[in-house]
Amino acid sequence: MQFIYSIGTYFAGFILKIVALFNTKIKLGVDGRKRTFKILEQQLEPTDKTIWFHCASLGEYEQGLPVFEKLREHFNKHKIVLSFFSPSGFEIRKNTTIADIVVYLPLDTKTNAKRFINLLHPELTVFVKYDIWPNYLNLLKKKNAHTILISAIFRPKQIYFKFYGNLFRKALFTFNHIFVQYESSKKLLESIGYNDVTISGDTRYDRVSNQLNKNNTLDFIERFKSNKLSVVIGSSWPEDELLFTNFINNKHYPEVKYIIAPHNIKTSQINNFISKTNTKSILFSEMENKPLEEYNVFIIDTIGYLSKIYSYADIAYVGGAMGTTGLHNTLEPAVFGIPILIGSNHKKFPEAQALINNGGMFSIKNQSQFNKALIKLLKNSDYRKKLGSKNLEFVKKNSGAVIQILDYLRI
């Protein structure tokens, strides 16, 4: 199995280089990995004390952030190295203050793992959710480096629980401790003999709860909203935006303000929405010296504001589940005590089903269901507040994962 894995890893590297010739995102990762060792050699000394955080992509980074923040605070004399595998994580968070050094993780060959670990020599390594790399983890184990996995989710169909998954199964045993989100994951680990496991829940609840302690004021949103009902559409895709185009064009509640933060800030997608929506729309990039209160739709064609914008919402719609791209973060709006609408393709997102079961979020399949649900929320303030309070209480109830992880690390 080790031989097959090694051959597969080298082959994957070769294929990525070819694909990079035609794909900008893949090229970012390929080129970024070439620079990793040079960056580490320039910025690390053999005498440095280090902590290593690894995330597959942006979602895992956001999930691990509340833990990273506490570790950064505690290990203030260590150098923190943060690695990503995906460009969608690295390119957005390459300047984060949570780490001293941010790099792409080189492919998991034995040579790369040896060079990477020897340069880092981490005292503590934190992997988030998944992205299990056998060569890196085996070497950490040999060097007695303390390694934990947080916010993990395991399912029976994963390779760890298959007869042919011995290499990856052994990789799990290199972790000193694994913190899982659900009891079902704990039972799966115990079924293969791994018992150093704690059900801590999802650190994202702690992450979004921290948002309540921050200053969420945005003057431009206040001017746009001008004390009227507002609906925030977060991380939308064209199929999500079509629902609102039809709703707005049918003159449903024309006084309502809509704030849209597209997942992909593509000019063609934004222009298509504006051209088909019969109302006054304005872009964030064009708002300077404009009377924002006179517009009905505000399109946020930049990143970094959505978590604060949700604090101004009376109702939130979270994109991704009307199509097949994957539901985006529903906990971000939930913490502000507002009702939420999503599409119907959310089976891979257990927190979404939990919010639905709790009564504060609705899943819709089509335009008719969308119109009915949104109209009911818009016309009844008591109903909105009741559903929203359920979401806030749910987030509060499920927070606390970070405390358990820090207790284990005796911090």
Token pair in block for residue 42: 């320039």
Instruction: Determine the 3-state secondary structure of 308 from DSSP.
Output: helix
What backbone torsions phi and psi does residue 116 show, to the nearest 5 degrees? -65, -50
Choose among 305, 376, 373, 315: nearest CA to 344.
373
Beta strands in 196-256 (DSSP E): 197-199, 230-236
Cβ burial of 153 (10 Å; 0-12, 13-18, 19+) is middle
Sequence letter at residue 68: F
With beta carbons less than 8 A apart as the criterion, state whether 360 and 385 touch: no
With beta carbons less than 8 A apart as the criterion, state whether 110 and 133 touch: no
> What does the angle CA 17 – CA 20 – CA 23 come to, to the nearest 5 degrees?
160
- Rounded to the nearest angstrom, the gap between the alpha carbon of residue 92 and the centroid of all alpha carbons in its chain is 12
Catalytic residue among 60, 241, 332, 351: 60
Q: Tell me, what DSSP letter sits at residue 266?
A: -
Residue 222 is among the residues annotated as catalytic for this protein? no
Cβ burial of 373 (10 Å; 0-12, 13-18, 19+) is middle
Token pair in block for residue 264: 């992909």
Active site residue ranges? 60
